């Protein structure tokens, strides 16, 4: 475990200054981290291209030269397509199982079987239910929620028909899917079929395999993930802007620090509530602390940051680094993106790792199983154990770095922000794109990967696009990267953005990068795009909007599923870092899969999936695509000179002038 990195310097490993401080400490103490392990472990070149197969015991087979096949005769493109769809299946399963659990929690809450949960967003519940023809008039929220939960639970095991929430995509998009035969029947059914098709001796046509990848991913984005987001909003409230902070400096020396890490909002929200209860505060004070300080890592951080303003301690690659501060009493984890290495790191300190999901145990961690029926009791049990551990704390080193952040731009809030409750609408957004003040829209999502410089791609791409008047929405670890760099506050980012985008941000009062939640909340981006289409003026389908999806530092199978459903929805998408399938110059057939994912999918669903590694190359591809879509819509060519002469900026400049000059500037002619 204790190992010094043989590779990059901390400054080369991450651009985040707080993380650099912790990596210097890791090197001094001789502790290994994901960064040093990535430096020390050379990736297998055949696996990196996804040109190996171990689906049956006639293999494992490795394709390393032209014309070579597996023992069964499987060609390079078949093997790569099978590996790709299995990643989609795993990613869709993770998101959707989360969605299923949320739907069961809604059902139990509606029937009074949970402890501490209530239906918080009755308006969203009623809107959604009405959209699915569930009667709402004269019925209590619990009655409506019970029916909506039943409908949602049924979508997972449904055998025939269509996953009901796909009806929230634009009609034109639904037609594309229907024609192609990729409307998902049931979320689970499509995942199971991925595994069946890729068993030895089944589907051996790469294009046909990838068609099913689209179907499975649509079942994730417009099914399981959308259900997870809907239910989280109903139970915990739809996010709206709120002030928070991000980075390791949110940990507090004189408080009991508890970090929640993973993805599900159910336990983390209850831990936040319990930490604010007088009995728990008193318990912490009796132990000599000022109170209990909750913060988050990864998407659990996003869930409580965007709803309650609870600070984010960091993103994916900071989970070990947070423990290295020596100030964390407990790290409470649920599902997804939890590195086994945190248990080993915690052994050097006093931190207790607590697993809570029925599905996740880690050897060496304490397991306190979460049960929604006793949610508050379990949350308090976990906090008491953290307080009891406070006395074991040794020397601490908390980096003094944290940035303010304004998260919470749900689809519903954007609607409200643009038109108020009287006339909520996406019209101003569409108009801003049509006029060219906003050149186009980009979603930057996804993870960190220690094989890249931590946070660097997310930030460099975002900074370049903001200068080009591109409005950015972000989720997951990408949004935490931007939060740490101060891009998610109103004023801080505005001196870095183009003139047209700046006018819009100043007028509406929004940051140029909008935080839209956790990685399961990429479904929010889908519904935003559906509403942009519905509002009119930017095409009849999502594929006509000047929009691009980016996953710069992806690492998880969920990211592959996300990229696939974003493309299936009609959005050109670029992933960078390690490509899940790559071309090997010695294996001619290995180019087939890349062509199917780009040109093949463009023909089928109107959007490509591509892989690029250089910031300039990515930014140019994004702008080229946005400008192409603008031209196809007949919109004016992007011209930054045309804007930036109205709004606050102009007024501020006017104030600097003498009265005569001010009149000249306003009226355009000298005025006595």
Among ligand MSK, ligand SF4, none, residue 447 binds (CB under 5-8 Å by kind): ligand MSK
Q: Which is nearer to ligand MSK, 316 or 390 (CB)?
A: 316
Give the count of residues interacting with ligand MSK (CB under 6 A): 14
Confirm or reject binding of residue 56 to ligand SF4 (CB under 6 A): yes
Dist CA 202 CA 200 (whole Å): 6
Dist CA 119 CA 131 (whole Å): 18
Confirm or reject binding of residue 199 to ligand SF4 (CB under 6 A): no
Note the residue count of the chain: 672
Is residue 488 helix, strand or coil?
A: coil
Furthest C-alpha separation in the chain: 92
Confirm or reject binding of residue 64 to ligand SF4 (CB under 6 A): no
Confirm or reject binding of residue 454 to ligand MSK (CB under 6 A): no
Site string for ligand MSK, 461-500 (x = CB under 6 A): ---------------xx-----------------------
| Residue 268 Cα distances to 249, 295, 296, 298, angstroms | 20, 10, 9, 12
Confirm or reject binding of residue 72 to ligand SF4 (CB under 6 A): yes
Confirm or reject binding of residue 85 to ligand SF4 (CB under 6 A): no
Confirm or reject binding of residue 587 to ligand SF4 (CB under 6 A): no
Give min distance, CB of 46 to ligand SF4, in A. 12
Q: Which is nearer to ligand SF4, 89 or 299 (CB)?
A: 89
Q: Which residue of the chain is nearest ligand SF4 when measured via CB?
A: 70
| Residue 192 Cα distances to 163, 188, 385, 562, angstroms | 15, 6, 40, 18
Stretch near ligand MSK under the rule CB under 6 A, chosen from 47-55, 552-560, 569-577, 620-628: 552-560
Among ligand MSK, ligand SF4, none, residue 67 binds (CB under 5-8 Å by kind): none
Dist CA 126 CA 112 (whole Å): 19
Cα angle at 207 between 206 and 211, to 5 degrees? 115
Residue 560, token pair as written in the block:
């592959």
In DSSP notation, 568-633 reads HTT-EEEE-SS-SS--BTTBTTHHHHHHIIIIIHHHHHS--EEE---HHHHHHHHHHHHHHHHHHH
Dist CA 555 CA 553 (whole Å): 7
Task: Give the β-pairing of 328-333 and 256-262.
Answer: parallel
Confirm or reject binding of residue 51 to ligand SF4 (CB under 6 A): no
Among ligand SF4, ligand MSK, none, residue 436 binds (CB under 5-8 Å by kind): none
Q: Which is nearer to ligand MSK, 78 or 449 (CB)?
A: 449
Q: Which is nearer to ligand MSK, 87 or 501 (CB)?
A: 87
Q: Within 10 A of 570 (CB to CB), how many other CB atoms are there?
A: 24
Binds ligand MSK (CB under 6 A): choice among 319, 518, 564, 578:
518
Among ligand SF4, ligand MSK, none, residue 477 binds (CB under 5-8 Å by kind): ligand MSK
Binds ligand MSK (CB under 6 A): choice among 82, 124, 252, 558:
558
CB–CB of 269/231 below 8 Å? no
Q: Which positions from 640 through 669 interact with ligand SF4, judged by CB under 6 A? A: none
| Residue 51 Cα distances to 112, 214, 226, 556, angstroms | 52, 21, 33, 19
Binds ligand MSK (CB under 6 A): choice among 76, 327, 519, 605:
519
Confirm or reject binding of residue 71 to ligand SF4 (CB under 6 A): yes
Give min distance, CB of 447 to ligand MSK, in A. 3
Beta strands in 217-318 (DSSP E): 244-246, 256-262, 292-297, 312-314
Dist CA 570 CA 565 (whole Å): 9
Q: Which is nearer to ligand SF4, 63 or 271 (CB)?
A: 63
Give min distance, CB of 86 to ligand SF4, in A. 12
Q: Which positions from 247 through 276 interact with ligand MSK, judged by CB under 6 A? A: 263
Give min distance, CB of 515 to ligand MSK, in A. 13
Among ligand MSK, ligand SF4, none, residue 519 binds (CB under 5-8 Å by kind): ligand MSK
Confirm or reject binding of residue 258 to ligand SF4 (CB under 6 A): no
Give min distance, CB of 579 to ligand MSK, in A. 16
Q: Within 10 A of 379 (CB to CB), how many other CB atoms are there?
A: 27
Task: Give per-residue burial for 28-39: e unless 16+ CB within 10 Å, then b.
Answer: eeebbbbbbbbb
Confirm or reject binding of residue 55 to ligand SF4 (CB under 6 A): yes
Give min distance, CB of 286 to ligand MSK, in A. 35
Residue 209, token pair as written in the block:
């395999």
Give the count of residues interacting with ligand SF4 (CB under 6 A): 14
Dist CA 434 CA 189 (whole Å): 41
Q: Which positions from 290 through 309 interact with ligand MSK, judged by CB under 6 A? A: 298-299
Burial class (CB in 10 A: 0-12, 13-18, 19+), 9: exposed
Dist CA 89 CA 405 (whole Å): 34
Q: Which is nearer to ligand MSK, 300 or 351 (CB)?
A: 300
Give min distance, CB of 58 to ligand SF4, in A. 4
CB–CB of 369/334 below 8 Å? no
Among ligand SF4, ligand MSK, none, residue 298 binds (CB under 5-8 Å by kind): ligand MSK
Is residue 159 helix, strand or coil?
A: coil
Strand partners, 53: 61
Binds ligand MSK (CB under 6 A): choice among 26, 218, 235, 337:
337
Confirm or reject binding of residue 70 to ligand SF4 (CB under 6 A): yes
Give min distance, CB of 400 to ligand MSK, in A. 25
Confirm or reject binding of residue 515 to ligand MSK (CB under 6 A): no
CB–CB of 573/608 below 8 Å? yes
How many CA atoms, within 13 angstroms, populate the side-chain half-sphere of residue 178?
A: 11
Tell me which residues touch ligand MSK (CB under 6 A): 263, 298-299, 316, 337, 446-447, 476-477, 518-519, 556, 558-559
Which stretches of the chain bind ligand SF4, using CB under 6 A? 53-56, 58-61, 70-72, 74, 79, 200
């Amino acid at each position: 475990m204790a190992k010094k990195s043989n590779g990059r310097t901390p400054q080369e490993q991450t651009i985040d200054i707080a993380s650099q401080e912790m990596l210097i400490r890791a090197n001094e103490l001789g502790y290994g981290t994901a960064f040093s392990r990535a430096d020390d472990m050379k990736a297998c070149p055949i696996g990196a291209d996804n040109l190996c197969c171990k689906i049956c015991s006639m293999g494992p087979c490795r394709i390393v030269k032209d014309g070579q096949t597996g023992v069964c005769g499987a060609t390079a493109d078949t093997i790569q397509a099978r590996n790709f769809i299995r990643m989609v299946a795993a990613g869709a399963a993770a998101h959707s199982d989360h969605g299923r659990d949320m739907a069961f929690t809604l059902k139990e809450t509606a029937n009074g079987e949970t402890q501490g949960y209530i239906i918080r967003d009755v308006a969203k519940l009623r809107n959604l239910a009405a959209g699915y023809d569930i009667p709402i008039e004269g019925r209590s929220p619990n009655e409506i929620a019970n029916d909506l939960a039943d409908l949602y639970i049924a979508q997972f095991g449904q055998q025939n028909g269509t996953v009901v929430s796909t009806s929230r995509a634009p009609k034109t998009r639904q037609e594309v899917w229907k024609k192609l035969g990729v409307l998902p029947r049931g979320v689970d059914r499509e995942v199971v079929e991925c595994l069946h098709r890729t068993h030895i001796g089944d589907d051996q046509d790469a294009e046909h395999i990838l068609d099913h990848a689209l179907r499975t991913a649509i079942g994730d984005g417009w099914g399981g993930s959308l259900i997870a987001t809907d239910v989280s909003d109903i139970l915990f409230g739809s996010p709206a802007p709120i002030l928070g902070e991000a980075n390791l400096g949110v940990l507090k020396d004189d408080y009991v620090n508890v970090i929640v890490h993973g993805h599900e909002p159910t336990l983390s929200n209850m831990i936040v509530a319990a930490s604010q209860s007088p009995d728990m505060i008193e318990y912490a004070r009796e132990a000599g602390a000022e109170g209990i300080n909750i913060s988050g890592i990864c998407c659990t951080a996003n869930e409580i940051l965007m709803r309650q303003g609870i600070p984010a301690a960091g993103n994916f690659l900071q989970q070990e680094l947070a423990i290295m501060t020596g100030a964390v009493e407990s790290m409470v984890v649920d599902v997804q993106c939890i590195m086994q290495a945190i248990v080993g790191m915690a052994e050097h300190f006093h931190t207790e790792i607590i697993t809570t999901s029925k599905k996740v145990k880690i050897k060496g961690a304490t397991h306190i199983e979460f049960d929604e029926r006793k949610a508050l009791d379990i949350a308090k049990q976990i906090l008491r154990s953290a307080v009891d551990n406070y006395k074991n704390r040794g020397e601490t080193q908390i980096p003094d770095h944290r940035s303010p952040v304004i998260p919470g731009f749900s689809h519903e809030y954007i609607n409200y922000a643009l038109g108020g409750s009287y006339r909520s609408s996406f019209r101003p957004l569409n108009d801003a794109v049509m006029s060219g003040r906003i050149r186009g829209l980009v979603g930057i999502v996804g993870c960190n990967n220690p094989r890249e410089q931590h946070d660097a791609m997310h930030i460099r791409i975002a900074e370049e696009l903001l200068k080009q008047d591109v409005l950015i929405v972000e989720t997951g670890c990408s949004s935490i990267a931007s939060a740490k760099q101060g891009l998610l506050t109103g004023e801080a980012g505005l001196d870095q953005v183009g003139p047209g985008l700046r006018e819009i941000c100043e007028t509406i009062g929004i940051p140029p990068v909008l935080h839209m939640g956790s990685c399961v909340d990429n479904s929010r981006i889908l519904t935003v795009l559906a509403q942009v289409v519905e509002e009119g003026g930017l095409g009849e389908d999502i594929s006509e909007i000047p929009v691009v999806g980016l996953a710069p530092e992806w690492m998880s199978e969920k990211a592959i599923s996300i990229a696939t459903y974003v493309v299936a929805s009609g959005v050109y998408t670029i992933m960078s870092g390690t490509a899940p399938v790559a071309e090997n110059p010695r294996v001619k057939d290995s180019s087939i899969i890349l062509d199917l994912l780009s040109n093949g999918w463009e023909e089928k669903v109107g959007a490509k999936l591509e892989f690029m590694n250089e910031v300039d190359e990515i930014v140019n591809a994004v702008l080229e695509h946005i400008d192409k879509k603008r031209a196809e819509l007949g919109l004016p060519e992007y011209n930054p000179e045309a804007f930036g002469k109205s709004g606050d900026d102009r007024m501020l400049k006017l104030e600097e002038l003498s009265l005569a000059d001010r009149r000249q500037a306003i009226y355009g002619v000298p005025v006595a």
